[in-house]
Amino acid sequence: MKKITRNSNYRLIVAVLFVSVISPFPLFAHVPGENPTLKSLMIKADVVFYGQISKIDYADPSGLKTSKSKGTRRWAPILDGPPHTFVTYRVIKEIYGSTGKKYVTLRFYGGPDGKGALYDSSASATFIKGERQVVMIKGNGRLRMPLVLGELGQFREYRGGVYSSIGVALTRFNKKGWVIFEGGIHPKLSLKIFPTPSFEGLLMRSKATEIISQKGMSIPVAKVKYEKEAPPYIVTKRVQQPRTAPAKPVSMNIFVSKLQAIARKLPTPRARFVSQDPRQRFVFKGHVGIQAPQTIEGTATYNPNRWVLKSGGPTQ
């Protein structure tokens, strides 16, 4: 994974336009007293399956707006309402309930707006194309976070092991049946990846044009440099303090078998699962407590053609 140097023209332009740089990803801890049982998670779900992420789109309520800007490799800005993230999974194994399809799409509130800012909910799941996960879904298309108990309804696979949404190992199930996560965040699972915004999108930021001018750069020159040198993706990384070594996780095969055994004893889900389409208009009713958009800044480039995802995790 190639680092962006401080002298990079791209770095300069992005630093100029991303006026306030903050860390948009809080570290979510799994409090032992709040750890649910697998049964209590599954009984709330409309469907549970093991699948692989095949596609990620971003759209506003008026429909898909993530097509690349004409003549460039950048992503067009979202203009009509807050962005939403559409994650398409290839269903490998249905565990509880049924999707009725080989490919299904989940809709989540939040994501990049194509202008250098990020809308992120307080219960953020993590999505990387190619990664395999077990997801417990509830209210897809109706709730802003269609996972059971937010991030606790997502179990990520890396090298055959099971990890939480933020990359902490699922190590055991105690006598009460609680799901126990222990150890530090696995460094390979600490990343979030977003498409780089278009230059036109960045110019929509407040005083962006004025700031570029103050730096002695013309808009045409800045655009040419940005289009030539900016990577297709921005990568951000969760930082854990103090740093703790990752623990050894339960294997995904054992985890899925345990879920299947529990599912056989549960009643059929009442709600019907409905896949979402990012190309269709949808109604966004808002939600009390939604965070304002926050600025994002990349720390490294990400090239999906070079970074191969195997067994659910990225390997160089």
pLDDT confidence band for 11 (50 / 70 / 90): low
Per residue in 73-131, pLDDT (tens digit) is 455 665 566 788 899 999 999 999 999 999 999 998 888 777 777 776 544 678 889 99
Confidence at residue 168, expressed as pLDDT on a 0 to 100 scale: 92
DSSP designation for 280: S
Average pLDDT, the chain: 74
Q: What average pLDDT does range 282-302 have in this prediction?
A: 45
Confidence at residue 164, expressed as pLDDT on a 0 to 100 scale: 93
Beta strands at 154-158 and 63-64: parallel, antiparallel or unpaired: unpaired
Q: What average pLDDT does range 183-187 have in this prediction?
A: 90
Q: What are phi and psi of 54, to 5 degrees?
A: -105, -20
Q: Contact at 8 Å (CB) between 96 and 48?
A: yes
How far is 93 from 74, CA to CA, in rounded Å?
A: 35
Confidence at residue 236, expressed as pLDDT on a 0 to 100 scale: 76
Name residue, tokens 């036109």. Answer: 200
When computed from its CA atoms, the radius of gyration of the chain, rounded to whole angstroms, is 20
Beta strands (DSSP E) in the chain are: 47-60, 63-64, 84-96, 103-109, 111-112, 117-119, 132-137, 154-158, 161-163, 168-173, 179-185, 191-195, 233-237, 294-295, 308-310, 313-315
